[in-house]
Amino acid sequence: MKAAAASPAFDRAYPSYETTRALDELRAREYPALAAHGCTYLDYTAANLYATSQLERHFSLLRDHVFGNPHSTSPTSSFSTASITRVRQRILAFFNASPDEWAVVFTTNASQALKLVGESYPFGPQSRYLLTFDNHNSVNGIREFARARGATATYIPVVLPDMRVDERDLERELDRPGDSDPGANDAPGLFAYPAQSNFSGVQHPLEWIERAQARGWDVLLDAAAFTPANRLDLGRWAPDFVVQSFYKIFGYPTGVGCLLARRRALAKLRRPWFAGGTITVASVQGDKHYLAEGESGFEDGTLDFLALPAIEIGLEHIDRIGMDTIHERVRCLTGWLLENLLALRQPGGQPLARLYGPPTTDRRGGIVTFNFCDPAGRAIDHRIVEARATDANISLRTGCFCNPGGGEIALGLTGTELSSCFRQPEHETHLTIDDFRMCIDGKSSGAVRVSLGLVSNLADVDRFIDFAKQFIGK
Ligand SMILES: Cc1ncc(COP(=O)(O)O)c(C=O)c1O
């Protein structure tokens, strides 16, 4: 049955949206809480939503079986082990990754996967940690491990207004070797970037993986904001490490992520400790321990063996819908949102929104970040926007979204200004860029982010555009 056209202009501009109509039925059937609470959910990058059938399947699985702790050979333990093995296989199949080449290390989230790489990567005085300004803090944090071992950390800027990297900067940095003694380390170091920015929605080229590897770099791809609405084909793209959180792809469960690592890259990592589950043998009097090979050596203690079957259920849910359908829906709605948002004008003709990121759907995902501006072109405080959105039962994000490099470039905050902030008394207790407002006069201290996903619909976007109109004339 063809759904009634909600907006002829939208239907004309985005005819392929029609092919994603099954998602409207799915939303009505499987995500009833959205309508029950009259909720306009525009924060898919922070967390995806879950379907009722995911919960039901998971709970009936737990109800109907006996799951033992997987660290032994009893029937209940073996049952859990078999279930975990199946989940690993399912994840590899989802990303088209060969089990011979790739390992799945379970973690609590993308951040823990990043920490595993950071604390174990063989950084040394000759090696480098290279990363884009545009990165989540959990990628930024690896610089502390790198520097503690004498490596240098170098940031590659992104450039306004689109917030993409100037490829000449990238090439220059990739070509710059470590400081000395190139024979001391196999690789110049580790290069980390997000497949999709959680700040601007920019999709940085996956071609960088091969370019960096051809110059000897190990590549860490943060896929957390990319995989919820884009197919990541690890048969085609082969970074050394990939991190993600599953709740961002299918909402439930929280608390499970993974490090997907090429086996030969995993073998380069050196863990700073050992734990239950990570060793083949450890002795107190013999003062020895031997790390287990492959993923086991990186999974500390008991895995969340009751939550893991829900990953298989979630991946099946996404496969049934089809990632291409999700991608197309998000693309169409993002295009409509951008067009309508950028068309809004203050009475004097100035644009209502200052966008940080690409103005079209070309090489970008469903994240739209901006500030509303008053008739004089000054940014309207994002906290006011957030408070009004809350009043309207709209869930969106404001601030810098744990991506300070993206925020600093978008908002035009300079190193000098930030250094002066960090010299203020008691700056340690001021945790956000918001609190720096007092010493960065006249500049916005945060942005507004709307992100679309799995069960977004046209009414969500139209409702947000109506909401935005209240800032005209303000
Ligand atoms: C691009 C990106 N990387 C990493 C993370 C960290 O994810 P988590 O908080 O699940 O560890 C996020 C979270 O929003 C993100 O958007």
Predicted pLDDT at 421 = 72
The helix/strand count (H/E) of the chain reads as: 18, 15
**243 pairs with which residues across the strands?**
222, 259
Q: How far is the CA of 137 from the centre of ligand 1 (A)?
A: 8
Predicted pLDDT at 474 = 80
Any ligand 1 atom below 6 A from CB of 43: no
Q: Which amino acid is at 357?
A: G
Predicted pLDDT at 182 = 47
User: What is the distance between the alpha carbons of residues 354 and 386, in angstroms, rounded to a whole number?
Assistant: 16
Indicate where the chain has its CATH 3.40.640.10 domain(s): 65-318
Predicted pLDDT at 389 = 98
Q: How far is the CA of 224 from the centre of ligand 1 (A)?
A: 6
Q: Which residues are catalytic?
A: 402
Q: List, in order, residues 6 or more apart from 26 with CB less than 8 Å away.
A: 51, 321, 455
Q: How far is the CA of 464 from the centre of ligand 1 (A)?
A: 24
Predicted pLDDT at 232 = 98
**CATH architecture for the domain at 65-318:** 3-Layer(aba) Sandwich (3.40)
Nearest atom, ligand 1, residue 245 CA: 10
CA distances to 77, 134, 199, 411 from 402, in Å: 39, 10, 9, 14
Question: Which of helix, strand or coil describes residue 412?
Answer: coil
Q: List, in order, residues 6 or more apart from 56 with CB less than 8 Å away.
A: none
Predicted pLDDT at 3 = 47
Q: List, in order, residues 6 or more apart from 9 with CB less than 8 Å away.
A: none
Any ligand 1 atom below 6 A from CB of 111: yes
Any ligand 1 atom below 6 A from CB of 138: yes
Low-confidence ranges of the chain (pLDDT < 50): 1-4, 180, 182-183, 185
Any ligand 1 atom below 6 A from CB of 365: no
Q: How far is the CA of 244 from the centre of ligand 1 (A)?
A: 7
Provide the angle, in degrees to the nearest 10, between the axes of the packed helices 309-321 and 75-94: 30
Q: Which amino acid is at 373?
A: C
Best of 248, 252, 400 to mutate for ligand 1, by most ligand atoms within 8 A of CB? 248
Indicate where the chain has its CATH 3.90.1150.10 domain(s): 325-400+446-471
**Domain 325-400+446-471 CATH superfamily:** Aspartate Aminotransferase, domain 1 (3.90.1150.10)
Q: What is the DSSP string of 219-261?
A: EEEE-TTTTTTS---TTT---SEEEEETHHHHS--SS-EEEEE
pLDDT digits (tens, 9 = 90+) for 317-368: 999 999 999 999 999 999 999 999 999 999 999 999 999 999 999 999 999 9
Any ligand 1 atom below 6 A from CB of 110: yes
Task: Check if the beta carbon of residue 396 is closer than 8 Å to that of residue 389.
Answer: yes
Predicted pLDDT at 344 = 98
Q: How far is the CA of 129 from the centre of ligand 1 (A)?
A: 19
Predicted TM-score (pTM) of the model is 0.95
Any ligand 1 atom below 6 A from CB of 185: no
User: What is the distance between the alpha carbons of residues 402 and 15, in angstroms, rounded to a whole number?
Assistant: 36
Predicted pLDDT at 439 = 57
> Which H or E element spans position 172?
helix 167-175
